[in-house]
Amino acid sequence: MKKLSTWLSDTNDKPIAILAGQVISKRQFCTKVAAWQTRLPLVPKQKWAVYHNDAIEFLAILFALWHSKCMACIPSDNCEATVTRLSANVAGFIGEFSLVGDQASVWQLADGFDENSLAQPLWNTLEKSFPALEVYTSGSTGEPKPIIRTLEQIDHELASLELLWPLSASAMVLSTVTHQHLFGLTFRLFWPLVKGQIFQAKHCPFTEDIYHLATQCERFILISTPAHLKRLNDQLDWLGLAGKCEATISSAAPLKYEDSLYAAQLLNAPIFEIYGSSETGALAWRNQSKKDQDYWTLLPNVKLEATSTSGRFLAIGAHIAPEYQALSDNIEQIAEDRFYLRGRTDRIVKVEGKRLSLAKLEKCLEESEWVHTAKALVVVRKREEVAVVIELSNLGLSLLKQRSEKWLATQLKTQLKASFEPVLLPRRWRFVKALPYNQQGKLPMESLQTLFQPVQPKWPTELDRKHSNNHCEFTFHIPAELVYFEGHFDGNPILPGIAQTHWAQHYGRKVFAFSGKFVRLEAIKFQQIIFPDSEVTLKLEFLPKKNRLAFQYLSSKGVHSSGRICFE
Amino acid sequence: MANLQLELKEMIITALDLEDIEADEIDDAEPLFVEGLGLDSIDALEIGLALQKQYGIKLKADSKETHDHFASINALAALVESHRGTNS
């Protein structure tokens, strides 16, 4: 395996990537590096911000910077607040940024720029120990914290990974993750590059994209995250890909055992998980092929050391700078090279694999003059999402009287958009008179969580509706979560007759627009039980002369119930 | 056609577990992502799955095209309609 520091100066020409179906050779790539070098006024020791969705352009910019001993600063997004935050510290912005006002300038290759008009320069071996890469992560104060890496550290990390998994270099690297963070950078770009393994330049967030590309190659390796793997589309013909996937590497957050099993079955390949952080790079791995294999094993050349004072652990390795050794996760060591993860030591959480400082979110909300106190938490309903509980200020309370909670939430959310990426924006908002502190003066997490329990539905899900004059036919799905199934009956849920008549009346009033008061029920028959998660048709007929509504619940099993509701 | 739009709105509200919003509050033409409804990248994955489950639609490999289909309720409705057209 080569090294990142010597890769450019190696004159061997070979394919490195696939971009839009075209093979990109090393020679073509180096021409791009030369083009960027010509375009950018680089002076050693400068720092430049880089954002580009095209992995080839992105890498070419990186090598152009490194060849001139400049640092590539890689923000995870290109939003306005990020640009503002960086503008005082960088020489310029390269790639896909849109700037406002008189912030530093954005550098791109000119349209129609002929890369082939450039002579290929002689490339030097890159200097190994200068600060080459700067990535950001949210620190416990909530401020984005810069983390600096040298090429030497990156090369040490890649060597450790290669020792651990000497996977074949012939499989194509596909990825659902971008390269604008450390995991993507290392696993989908740097490692394949030094290994001589072809990678797809495009990142594919959708399963369908991955599937489509996978059908076109002999073998592939998938770089992904729990957020993507647990949502793999099981309707695709994965059997048709059997034997093609060599391995899947997942990081960003621990994968649940069930999700690991699900992905391993569909892809017919082992799912390797990586534990690490932006500060440390990759540290450990696991493969949960059995239920009790949820412990982590250290990478070759990485050691754990308990600190004598704080109980925190240090991760020691050639690719980890001394200032980043202290881990922010609680570690339970079970052998020299094995451990369990037991939560964070600070208020940093992962939401669908993205790191969020709850403290920063609360601080940002409390900057609004409408907010007195804000508490943020992660709730898990159908997905992991951010929720906030807010005690309004007097100004906020008077606004609430004129407007609505929804309006307030929308305004506050808009203010947060500049500083948080979309996945980290709160999706559930609760405005309370007073936060639920207990008698000990603590704010128990459970009492905040209860504010976000899902409201059980009272209505069926309408799948179809056919309406003509005094007839209407609905197709309903009967959700298993219906409030009416609770206790009716324990272990044997069935839809109560009273709910069925209530729905008939509700939907009847909705479509036929009559207003008379309920008088009585007539000819009511309950013939067959309606079970959770079934599909039924409700046939309604309004008899205007008699002011009656006839109803019938039907399915492939026949008639479930029928009757007439009489109105005044 | 208007029924299909309503159906898609119900699908999105259920699949994404949205609260404080009724189907008729969603504008057929407003953007679903970032602006408008303000959905995110995880929502896009969930909508992709829901489309497959409810309408048997497999998204094309071209992310740009997928991006266009997900622009609004009207764009999603057009996708479902064209899928019905090719399969009937």
Q: Tell me, what CATH number does A409's domain have?
A: 3.30.300.30
One DSSP character per residue, A269-292 reads S-EEEEEEETTTEEEEEE--SSTT
Q: How many residues does chain B have?
A: 88
Which of A80, A207, A403, A510 should be substituted to probe chain B, the one whose Cβ sees the most B Cβ atoms within 10 Å? A207
Any domain includes A211: yes
Distance from CA of B61 to the nearest CA of A (A): 4
CA distance A266 to A318: 37
Same domain, A308 and A186: yes
CB A512 within 8 A of CB A474: no
Which of A233, A407, A429 should be substituted to probe chain B, the one whose Cβ sees the most B Cβ atoms within 10 Å? A233
Contact A413 B38 (CB under 8 A): yes
What is the structure's pLDDT at A399? 94
Q: Give residue A112's pLDDT band: very low, low, confident or very high (50, 70, 90).
A: low
Distance from CA of A297 to the nearest CA of B (A): 30
Contacts of A231 in chain B (CB under 8 A): 45-46, 49
| CATH superfamily, with its number, for domain B2-87 | ACP-like (1.10.1200.10)
Any domain includes A234: yes
In this predicted model, what pLDDT tens digit does every residue of A219-261 receive, in sequence order? 999 999 998 998 898 888 999 998 899 999 999 888 989 899 9
Contacts of A236 in chain B (CB under 8 A): 58
Same domain, A395 and A294: no
As a whole number, mean pLDDT of residues B73-88 equals 84
CB A73 within 8 A of CB A93: no
Same domain, A295 and A368: no
Closest CA to A198 of A426, A26, A445: A26
Sign of CA dihedral B6, B9, B13, B14: positive
Contacts of A213 in chain B (CB under 8 A): 61
CA distance A5 to A16: 16
Which of A204, A381, A383, A459 should be substituted to probe chain B, the one whose Cβ sees the most B Cβ atoms within 10 Å? A383
Any idea which of A149-153, A334-338, A433-437, B80-84 has the lowest mean pLDDT? Answer: A433-437
**Complex ipTM, two decimals?**
0.84
Tokens describing residue A61 = 């910019």
Domain boundary among A427, A452, A477: A452
Contact A233 B60 (CB under 8 A): no
Contact A382 B16 (CB under 8 A): yes
| B63 pLDDT more than 70 | no
CATH code, A130: 3.40.50.12780
Contacts of A381 in chain B (CB under 8 A): 17
Same domain, A147 and A53: yes
What is the structure's pLDDT at A140? 58
Contact A454 B17 (CB under 8 A): yes
Q: Give residue B76's pLDDT band: very low, low, confident or very high (50, 70, 90).
A: very high
B-chain residue closest to A384, CA distance? B42
Nearest-by-Cβ selection for B61 from A208, A382, A409: A208
Same domain, A198 and A166: yes
Contacts of B20 in chain A (CB under 8 A): 405-406, 409
Closest CA to A123 of A274, A41, A42, A11: A11
Same domain, A331 and A401: no
Contact B44 A208 (CB under 8 A): no
Contact B46 A383 (CB under 8 A): yes
B-chain residue closest to A463, CA distance? B7
Contacts of A405 in chain B (CB under 8 A): 20
| A104 pLDDT more than 70 | no
What is the structure's pLDDT at A444? 77
Any domain includes A352: no
Contact A423 B41 (CB under 8 A): yes
CB A559 within 8 A of CB A527: yes
Q: At what angle do helices A394-402 and A405-416 cross, to 10 degrees?
A: 120
Same domain, A76 and A117: yes
What is the structure's pLDDT at A557? 92
Distance from CA of B82 to the nearest CA of A (A): 18
Same domain, A436 and A478: no
What is the structure's pLDDT at A141? 58
In this predicted model, what pLDDT tens digit does every residue of A44-93 receive, in sequence order? 999 999 999 999 999 999 999 999 999 999 998 887 878 888 988 999 99
As a whole number, mean pLDDT of residues A147-172 equals 94
Any idea which of A179-188, A430-439, A532-541, B8-17 has the lowest mean pLDDT? Answer: A430-439
What is the structure's pLDDT at A476? 93
Distance from CA of A461 to the nearest CA of B (A): 8
In the block, tokens 């791995």 appear at A285
CA distance A309 to A499: 62
Closest CA to A457 of B4, B12, B55, B13: B13
Which of B1, B58, B60 should be substituted to probe chain A, the one whose Cβ sees the most A Cβ atoms within 10 Å? B58
Same domain, A62 and A161: yes
Tokens describing residue A130 = 């200068």
In this predicted model, what pLDDT tens digit does every residue of A326-357 receive, in sequence order? 898 889 999 999 999 987 777 888 899 888 98
Q: Give the count of beta carbons closer than 10 Å to the beta carbon of residue B5.
A: 18
Same domain, A386 and A466: no
Contact B38 A233 (CB under 8 A): no
Domain spans, chain B:
2-87
Same domain, A139 and A247: yes
Closest CA to B42 of A377, A384, A223, A357: A384
Contacts of A382 in chain B (CB under 8 A): 15-17, 46
One DSSP character per residue, A426-477 reads --EEEEESS----TTS---HHHHHGGGPPPPP-SPEEEEEEEETTEEEEEEE
In this predicted model, what pLDDT tens digit does every residue of A273-331 receive, in sequence order? 999 998 999 999 999 988 889 999 999 999 999 887 777 899 999 999 988 898 988 89
Q: How many CB pairs under 8 A join A and B?
A: 78
Q: Count up the domains in chain A and report the number.
A: 3
CATH code, A471: 3.10.129.10
Same domain, A146 and A246: yes
Distance from CA of A42 to the nearest CA of B (A): 34
A-chain residue closest to B49, CA distance? A233
For residue A494, what are the domain limits? 461-567
Q: What is the mean pLDDT of chain A?
A: 90
Distance from CA of B62 to the nearest CA of A (A): 7
As a whole number, mean pLDDT of residues A434-460 equals 80
Nearest-by-Cβ selection for B61 from A212, A406, A463: A212
Closest CA to A54 of A168, A203, A197, A187: A203
At A258, which amino acid appears? E
Contact B45 A205 (CB under 8 A): yes
